[in-house]
Structure 1
Amino acid sequence: MNKNFINLDKECKNIILSWEDAPSPETGMSIEELRKGLLLDNELTGEGPENIETVDTVIKNRLGNNIQARIYRNPNKHSDKTLLYLHGGGWVSCSIETHDTFCKYLANYGEINVLSINYRLAPENKYPAALEDIEDTIDWILNVDNKELITNSNFIGVAGDSAGGNLAAAISLKMRDIGKDIISLQVIIYGAVSGDTNNDSYKQYGTSPYRLKKETMEWFWQQYIPLKPVTHVEYLEPIKAKDFKDLPNALIFTSEHDVLRDEAEEYAGILKNINNSVYLKRFDKLPHGFVNMIGKSKRAEESSIFISKKIRDYWK
């Protein structure tokens, strides 16, 4: 038993212990099993605020293929602010459905529109496929003919947890580099911004019974990294960028009991040192993946509401 586990939030501890005998992808769980989301049920993720309206739609990517998308909004509180949400899951798993409840929280307590998408997953679609889908989705948001989600171009943000946090940071770098400076806010929730698995948080929290172990994260990276050399390594590992100037304002959230904690906090420090606007908060006693534990952990729910309200206050 990892000695740090005793200090974890009690409700989250019970959740993780209930998974103790479940297989992991690096030890034999198939990708198909992983994608079924066997560990994420409605009781765990919760139902979300009932007043949020959802609309499913389809966005065409550059290949002419469909990107499944879901719009979240409060019909009683009109907003022209849109947050593009990018789910976690190691670039390999999860979907609109697994993060549906959290997106409802973001829309309700953030008082914004949220657009969640099913970007292409690895290993069938390695880097940069997901990033391409995200860029194409941003173009869809900006399209003047888009009547489904009318958005003020001054209020377009990207957000994501874990692998989705990686993608939020990466697309922020890329959009700046190609001269599309239309992202005003990046929200990174326990984001995987570095492939280095040797820092202190990996040593502290990278073993059982924690679900996201060092070996698990290394397996995820192996699925995502392409076989061919990467031209822009910073779009794969944002922390390796050579230029951090003029990036969107950042809200960066970490969880104490998480292998990804240190790299995300280091990334916040790098951005701040280059005079970007950065807000950083660590949620004590919480594990990786807490936004999917809203239904069974009061602390996870309160933290998810905090994130949502921080976005609301930033965009007021």
Structure 2
Amino acid sequence: MGVGLAILIMGFAALFAAFLLLLIGLVYAELMNSEIPRGVTGRWKLHAIHILFVGVAVVGRILERLGLCHQISVVLWAYGNLLVCRRPAPPGLHIRDLTFGGVPVRVYQPTAPSAGGRRGLLYFHGGGWVTGSIDISDEICRCIAKESETTVVSVGYRLAPEHRYPAPLDDCEVATRGFLSVAEAEFGVDPRRVAVGGDSAGANLAAALCQRLAKKQDGHLSSPCAQVLIYPVLQMADFSLPSYQQNHAVPLLFRGRAAFYYLQYLNGDVSLCQDVLEGAHVPPDLRLEYGRWLSPELLPAQFLARGCGRVEPPPYDAEAYHAVRTGLDPEMSPLLGEDEVVRRTPRAFVLTCEYDVLRDDGLLYRRRLEDLGVAVSWHHVPDGFHGLLSFYGLSWLSFPAAGPAMDSVVRFVETL
């Protein structure tokens, strides 16, 4: 008995020591690799959250190497428990899980009577096309539905790496068409007042879907009346824009991870990550063409104040281009869409955060839409970072900047 107890104590001690070393390593790596500007309100909380997220990823990788489970499964499980506040539906809101065309959705339906057809919003969650879920976007959708008295449909599209492009976009189209076809009869929603939107990768899907539907307009089904783009990722051509330089190491999205997620969505070949980050995958003629839309000179001067350098393009790598060329198509990079298609997309709301590598994607798309005559409402969060709204309504995890940001989304939805 004494020997067994001693072995048990030694085992616990070894586990504790391993945990302590892992924690020390994570803290050290966070302080060495992350750069959170003082302008971020709650910067130390963000440091702590990022340490937790990185720790989950490290544990997931260890378990994957041991053959116990896939890293993504661990990440999804952890996010589902950390970022989900499971509560009953609040008064005035009816919540139920359904499917449209086989795609799972969660419908948030206000119970108060509405004069005429109600507004609707199809919401696509973020997560780099790899993580995220209906559950994680639950607080965002509850807030929009309740505060704006809008029927919100959160779409559980398929995720990479098991389901790569175009599966997530196809699912969003199926769910959108499915809802529009029954919006009035089953939900009392005016199909002419239905928008699509999302955050991060979800905003990419919303913008891409608007362009896809603009090309397919046949008069038989209403198209979205607006697009709600919350810190959207919109192009795979240039990872050296000023916001990528200024915020390259700001959690929750590092510059390198942005390219990683794009590649996971596209083909899973992350060995091309460095080529993509440097821009070797873009032919000289396309680089010249994209310059009309991606030039830093198109950005308001205030967003150059923190500095940025001119990045010389590397030698063109034809092999890299052919491996990732689909990533430059408008359905993956909506900012690179054809003028005639972008011009036919609905009015937009664009939310950007100062300390986000994707800030300039949103700013440049706003400029492009406006230049083509598309009405745009814009809200900028000066102390915000990528993923800010993921913590909205989650008690101590929430950040002060999330409230005004969410209010701006609600105010726009109320105009539908």
In structure 2, distance between residues paired with 1:23 and 1:121: 20
The runs of 5 or more residues in structure 2 that have no matched partner are: 1-30, 62-70, 268-322
Aligned in 2, Cα 1:56/1:144: closer, same or farther, shift over 3 Å? closer
Which residue number corresponds to residue 249 of structure 1? 347
Residue 188 of structure 1 and its aligned partner are, at CA, apart by: 0.2
Work out whether 1:7 is the aligned partner of 2:39: yes
Residue 175 of structure 1 and its aligned partner are, at CA, apart by: 0.4
In structure 2, distance between residues paired with 1:201 and 1:47: 39
Where does 1:19-58 land on structure 2 (aligned, <5 Å)? Answer: 19-20=50-51, 22-23=53-54, 29=61, 30-38=71-79, 41=82, 50-58=91-99
In structure 1, distance between residues paired with 2:85 and 2:328: 38
Which residue number corresponds to residue 67 of structure 1? 103
Does the aligned pair in 2 maintain the 1:157–1:183 contact within 8 Å?
Answer: yes
In structure 2, distance between residues paired with 1:40 and 1:257: 26
Where does 1:1-316 land on structure 2 (aligned, <5 Å)? Answer: 4-10=36-42, 13-20=44-51, 22-23=53-54, 29=61, 30-38=71-79, 41=82, 50-60=91-101, 66-78=102-114, 80-144=118-182, 147-180=185-218, 182-195=223-236, 196-207=238-249, 210-226=251-267, 230=326, 233-243=329-339, 244-294=342-392, 295=394, 296-312=398-414, 314-315=415-416
Residue 242 of structure 1 and its aligned partner are, at CA, apart by: 1.7
- TM-score, structure 2 normalization: 0.68
The runs of 5 or more residues in structure 1 that have no matched partner are: 61-65
RMSD of equivalent CA atoms: 2.7
SS at match of 2:191: coil
Does the aligned pair in 2 maintain the 1:44–1:292 contact within 8 Å?
Answer: no
In structure 1, distance between residues paired with 2:376 and 2:83: 33
In structure 1, distance between residues paired with 2:213 and 2:124: 16
Does the aligned pair in 2 maintain the 1:58–1:69 contact within 8 Å?
Answer: yes
Aligned in 2, Cα 1:93/1:171: closer, same or farther, shift over 3 Å? same
Aligned in 2, Cα 1:174/1:269: closer, same or farther, shift over 3 Å? same
SS at match of 1:122: coil
- For residues 69-119 of structure 1, the C-alpha deviation after alignment (integer angstroms, 9 at most, x for no partner) is 111022024352210000000001111000000001111122211000110
Does the aligned pair in 2 maintain the 1:40–1:98 contact within 8 Å?
Answer: no
SS at match of 1:230: helix
Q: How many residues align?
A: 307
Higher relative contact order structure (alpha carbons within 8 Å, sequence separation ≥ 6) = 1
SS at match of 1:235: coil
SS at match of 1:308: helix
Aligned in 2, Cα 1:235/1:35: closer, same or farther, shift over 3 Å? same
In structure 1, distance between residues paired with 2:39 and 2:147: 29
Q: Which has the larger radius of gyration?
A: 2
Residue 177 of structure 1 and its aligned partner are, at CA, apart by: 0.5
Residue 308 of structure 1 and its aligned partner are, at CA, apart by: 0.9
Aligned in 2, Cα 1:110/1:73: closer, same or farther, shift over 3 Å? same
Q: Which one has a larger percent helix, Structure 1 or Structure 2? A: 2
